[in-house]
Amino acid sequence: MTAPEFGRGSPTTEDTGEGAVPVPRVPASRRGETEAAGFDVLVAGPLTTVQDQGRPGYAAMGVPRSGAADPPSLELANRLVGNPGSAAALELTFGGLAVRFRQAGLVALTGASCPMWLDGRPVGIHCAVPVLAGQVLRVGAPVAGLRAYLAVRGGVAVEPVLGSRSTDLLSGLGPPPLSTGQVLPVGSAGGSWPADVVAPVRWLPSPADLVVLRVRLGPRDDWFPPEALTRLAHEEFRVTGESDRVGMRLSGPELRRSDGRELPSEGMVAGAVQVPPDGHPVLFLADHPVTGGYPVVAVVVSEDVPLAAQCVPGQRVRFRPVR
């Protein structure tokens, strides 16, 4: 089977079904015209960014890695449409995206469980979906999880910065978040399709769920008294509305430290649980700074960081220390 590629499709009708968004009709005289491969952003959503595997190797220059907050979901989306793992896709926070395709192609949505419509008709997620020129794809708000990933065969072909197309909200590197009315280019399709991919069954938290994240204590757990470490391991925290791609801010029990010295800046990693002077921990995510001046009481194991990135504001979180 040959994958549908941008530039080979025929136009279709407007989105007029359930979940429709008001979009300008494509004049008949323009339908079928050759345009640059890509798609129009009709509704940008609360926060939609371009993401790939990030910018590893530049921490010594003060450049964060950035990249997808939930890398396994990005990888799956790319595999479903036959893209290489380095391809850029869209990361949707709280869904809300609507786009119109200029040419035929293939898309896949993974990550957070979001309803999705193509010209008003429901279509599935975690699978490859063919699209035609002129069709409108709309993604609703997630019912579980926070961040979804929309991959397009050929990849989102914005200009790379330091070898990556990722939007870094902390440093400002990469393209800005999507805005309504812009046009995004799509690259040439490469790799084989259909892909031999089985979407794994993965638990994503609904807003009422308790999320348990495994952590390894340290490197500065000795700056905290035993009662603070007990709170960390046995009490619940809640994700606040101030959370973003830089870090997940938590409310709940205060982790007051016993060592009052000033801490020189130290290197930071994704998953680091840093404790500022107010005692409310911050869990660093994809756009975290490369250094920090507050003690890190624990680090979430790397396999659980993508789960942390799927927690919504108000989510209950508990840490479970492991060796």
Tell me, letter by letter, the H, E, C secondary structure of 80-132: HCCCCCCCCEEEEECCCCEEEECCCEEEEEEEEECCEEECCEEECCCCCEEEC
Distance, C-alpha 274 to centroid of its chain? 22
* Residue pLDDT, tens place only, 11-59: 333 433 334 444 444 433 333 333 568 999 999 999 999 999 999 999 9
Query: d(Cα 59, Cα 55) in Å, to the nearest integer?
Result: 9
C-alpha distance from residue 252 to each of 235, 237, 293, 322 (Å): 8, 5, 22, 22
Please give the biggest Cα pair distance in the chain: 73
For residue 36, the model assigns a pLDDT of 67
Least confident of 20-29, 82-91, 232-241: 20-29
For residue 207, the model assigns a pLDDT of 95
> Could you tell me if 10 and 32 are in contact, meaning their C-beta atoms sit under 8 angstroms apart?
yes
Query: d(Cα 167, Cα 184) in Å, to the nearest integer?
Result: 14
Name the amino acid, one letter, at 137: L
Region 257-283 average pLDDT = 94
Could you tell me the fold of the domain covering 210-321? Cyclophilin (2.40.100)
For residue 3, the model assigns a pLDDT of 54
Mean model confidence pLDDT for the chain: 90
Region 243-266 average pLDDT = 94
Query: d(Cα 292, Cα 274) in Å, to the nearest integer?
Result: 8
Region 293-300 average pLDDT = 97
Q: Which residue has the tokens 């200009």?
A: 159
Q: Which residue has the tokens 């994809």?
A: 286
Least confident of 7-16, 62-71, 121-130, 220-229: 7-16
Query: d(Cα 71, Cα 13) in Å, to the nearest integer?
Result: 34
* Residue pLDDT, tens place only, 129-152: 999 999 999 999 999 999 999 999
* Residue pLDDT, tens place only, 148-180: 999 999 999 999 999 999 999 999 999 999 999
Query: Hey, what are 322's tokens?
Result: 């492991």
Q: Kindly report, as residue ranges, where domains of CATH 2.40.100.10 are found in the chain.
A: 210-321
Least confident of 20-24, 66-70, 219-223: 20-24
pLDDT class for 189, splitting at 50, 70, 90?
Answer: confident
Residue 320: strand pairing partners: 214
Q: What percentage of the chain has pLDDT greater than the value 90?
A: 81
